[in-house]
Amino acid sequence: MWFFSLLLPLAFADVPRLSISQSDLSQVSKIYLAPGLVSLVEFPQNIIEVRVGSPHLVKALISQVSPKELTLYLNGQAHFASNLIVRSEKRIFVFDVIPSKTNHQDYIKIRGGAFGSPHLTQGLQHGLRLEISPIKIKQNLAPIVTQSKTLKVGP
């Protein structure tokens, strides 16, 4: 019965328990954790390093099965938010981990991250695909000849 009393407030939560998002790397994202529950965050690339602002309150473990997954849980009774910085192979993601008794996110899948204006992030949320490809530039490998002058300093 105590288990249901723990989950009942989460049934009326303001944030979705399962989510897939395109991350705006210029913004700090929020992750809500409830005491006694874990959260799984899946990144688009392998995780290289994780740093937690208050490691005695929030534990972050890189999965041994998939290096793209990060498991988060509260260690004891956390009463204030902590930050979380995740370095992946190509990007850095910044989060605020917020302890909550009414909100919890079980699974968060991050599809990617981009720095951008609200127009870019809104377009990506509506299913538009943005691709940036490199431009090939032909270089003339002939040596460049410049004229040099010698200046005398002093009397």
Taking only the tens place, the pLDDT of each residue in 9-36 is 444 447 777 767 766 677 888 999 999 9
* Average pLDDT score over the chain: 75
Rounded Cα gap, residues 19 and 48, in angstroms: 23
Torsion of CA 76, 82, 83, 86, to 10 degrees: 0
CATH architecture of 2-125: Sandwich (2.60)
pTM of the model: 0.62
pLDDT tops 70 at residue 68: yes
Which of these ranges, 40-49, 64-73, 93-102, 130-139, has the smallest mean pLDDT? 130-139
Confidence of residue 78 (pLDDT cuts 50, 70, 90): confident
Helices (H) and strands (E) counted in the chain, each on its own, are 2, 9
| Domain range list for the chain | 2-125
Answer for the pair 56, 12: CB distance below 8 angstroms, yes or no: no
